[in-house]
Amino acid sequence: NAGVTQTPKFQVLKTGQSMTLQCAQDMNHEYMSWYRQDPGMGLRLIHYSVGAGITDQGEVPNGYNVSRSTTEDFPLRLLSAAPSQTSVYFCASSRQGGMGGYTFGSGTRLTVV
Amino acid sequence: SQQGEEDPQALSIQEGENATMNCSYKTSINNLQWYRQNSGRGLVHLILIRSNEREKHSGRLRVTLDTSKKSSSLLITASRAADTASYFCATEGNSGYSTLTFGKGTMLLVSP
């Protein structure tokens, strides 16, 4: 099994551009989440989903959109990139209830200039 | 806002020594989890302790949880250079859906 796959690994955007960060998991996990990691800040939750068709906001949702049309995929869209969105983005998935822990992707390092 | 706060922020030890990291949190939890992150990589789940458990072991890892003090500790025994990484505690709340709230992490350096 591949686990959680994130693409791309690196991306440079200009201010105002839009893009989609891809996340796919092959473990049939119901729960999927997007986090951003900034130096000295730990990980902060952006959006999460508890199943296909169900999404909700986390701690820092502004400037990001998500959708969950299938169990496997949970893309994160940056609508109009800003330098404040320069960060490392992690996607994670878990079984319902999360008691087995979360499986994380390897991350996307995004720079907005 | 951050739920967990790890202490210390950084820890430097020699191979063979034990490493202890602490985590404090603010609200009631369903469980507390510890993750490891090697430089430039994703997080790896290490161990989960439920709110009704006080201690849990996994290999060289020992986790304790004190819900009355809202604190947890992670002990790594007989540390190896390969244990060099950042360690994060994360809490899962007991209301609503399952999401994790992370602390800022402890950076562990194990020197040969």
The per-residue pLDDT for range A61-99, each reduced to its tens digit, is 999 999 999 999 999 999 999 999 999 999 999 987 656
**pLDDT at res. A40:** 76
Stretch A34-52: mean pLDDT, rounded? 92
Contacts of A21 (CB under 8 A, 6+ apart): A6, A7, A8, A11, A34, A75, A76, A77, A78, A89, A91, A108, A110
> Are B98 and A94 within 8 A, CB to CB?
yes
Placement of tokens 């997007």 in the chain: A34
Give the model's confidence band at A1: pLDDT under 50 very low, under 70 low, under 90 confident, else very high.
Answer: low
Query: Is there a cis peptide before residue B8, judged by omega within 30 degrees of 0?
Result: yes
The DSSP code for B52 is T
> Is a pLDDT exceeding 80 seen at residue A54?
yes
To test the contact with chain A by mutation, choose from B47, B100, B102, B107 the residue with the greatest count of A C-beta atoms within 10 A, namely B100
**pLDDT at res. B72:** 97
> Are A50 and B97 within 8 A, CB to CB?
yes
DSSP H helices in chain A: none
pLDDT in tens, chain B (112 residues): 456 688 899 999 999 999 999 999 998 898 999 999 998 889 999 999 999 999 999 999 999 999 999 999 999 999 999 999 999 999 988 766 668 899 999 999 999 9
Asked whether the beta carbons of B108 and B61 are under 8 A apart, the reply is no
Q: Is the dihedral of CA A43, A46, A52, A54 positive or negative?
A: positive
**pLDDT at res. A97:** 63
A21: its two tokens: 């960060």
**pLDDT at res. A56:** 94
**pLDDT at res. B1:** 46
Spatial distance between the Cα atoms of B99 and B38, rounded to a whole number of angstroms: 22
Spatial distance between the Cα atoms of B87 and A23, rounded to a whole number of angstroms: 24
Among candidate residues A1, A23, A14, the one with its CA nearest the CA of residue A76:
A23
Q: Which residues pair with A57 in a beta bridge?
A: A47
- B50 CB neighbours in chain A (<8 A) are 99
**pLDDT at res. B95:** 67
| HSE value, Cβ hemisphere, 13 Å, CA-based, for B47 | 19
**pLDDT at res. A8:** 97
> How much of chain A exceeds pLDDT 90, in percent?
88
